[in-house]
Amino acid sequence: MAGVVVSLRQRLPGLGRRLERLRGAGGEDAFLVKGAISLEKLKDLCKEDKETVNPSNLLQLYTQIVLDITYFEENQLVDEDFPEDSSLQRVKELISILSEPEVLVKESNMHQDLIGVLGTELLECLSWRRGALLYMYCHTIKERGCWLTENTDLFKKCLNDGIHYLLKMLRFRYPTQLNDVSFQDTDTARLLSEGIFSDTHVLAMMYIGEMCYWGLKHCGEEKPGTHEMDSESNTELYCSLHSAVLDFREVGENMLMKYVAVCEGLLKGQDWNTANAKLILDYFKTFHS
């Protein structure tokens, strides 16, 4: 308990300054207001330093504050179309902030029970937000021909890391053991058995497929393990432990085949478009030996 409070106390002033700066720029944005209220509540809980305060509750509240604040910043970046002169640093900062809850859990020596501490939904959200942010960033910068030519390796790292985050998000609750659960809706049961718990899970599969396509199209084919990325370097875009380079074709093909099967099967008639996924799958076929 004491370790968690100490770690939080070290982080809260910086988070508060960031929040105030954003509120000055964004006015009474609902997410910033919510974050401000939660931050004051967390400060009070940390001051109490009572044994009755559950450390998991403190960490979950901190995580929700991080999610609210970064959501406003992410929307700013998207609205501004990821300015070429500043967006890389801003994306890097957001990835780092969104990684802090997991870092804090590890610092508190509770990392072996990460799901038990933060809960599945918050962990999924943290991974989704990091992966989706990198997806949106890559979606924008891939259209900047000169930048892409000069920064192919960086683009590949952004794709690699974004895909890892989305894959991580999809794996938190997969697979579900259906024999332990009673379902009246067999279609729902089959979706859960495929690791699909919401529209976000379906969208993540499409995002992964698209990012793998961009990787092959702009960076070429590369098998896993052909080189490693220095995860300790402060110059890296991300703050993570990803070192192996993905096989873009294999990962993308597997994910999009599953996406098409689900959207044209169990989710048929729910407005999920598979046309682009099929075009990308055709493209992947050209890389088969």
CA distance 74 to 29: 13
Q: Does residue 145 register a pLDDT over 70?
A: yes
Give residue limits of the domains in the chain: 1-118, 128-289
- H helices, E strands: number in the chain: 12, 0
The residue with greater pLDDT, 130 or 229, is: 130
- Confidence category of residue 107, pLDDT binned at 50, 70, 90: confident
Q: Point out the least confidently predicted range of 15-24, 124-133, 171-180, 198-207.
A: 171-180
Residue 152: how many other CB atoms lie within 10 Å: 13
The residue with greater pLDDT, 131 or 3, is: 131
**Residue of 128, 74, 66 whose CA lies nearest to 101:** 66
The pLDDT value recorded for residue 280 is 96
Q: Does residue 265 register a pLDDT over 60?
A: yes
Residues in the chain: 289
Q: Does residue 227 register a pLDDT over 50?
A: no
Decide: 248 and 164 in contact? Cβ < 8 Å.
no
pTM for this one? 0.86
- Confidence category of residue 268, pLDDT binned at 50, 70, 90: confident
Q: Does residue 161 register a pLDDT over 90?
A: yes
The pLDDT value recorded for residue 181 is 53
pLDDT tens string 50-60: 667 788 999 99
Q: For a pLDDT cut of 70, what percent of the chain falls above it?
A: 79
**Residue of 171, 156, 146 whose CA lies nearest to 216:** 156
Contacts of 215 (CB under 8 A, 6+ apart): 156, 159, 160, 246, 248, 252
CA distance 166 to 136: 13
The pLDDT value recorded for residue 238 is 40
DSSP symbol at 119: -
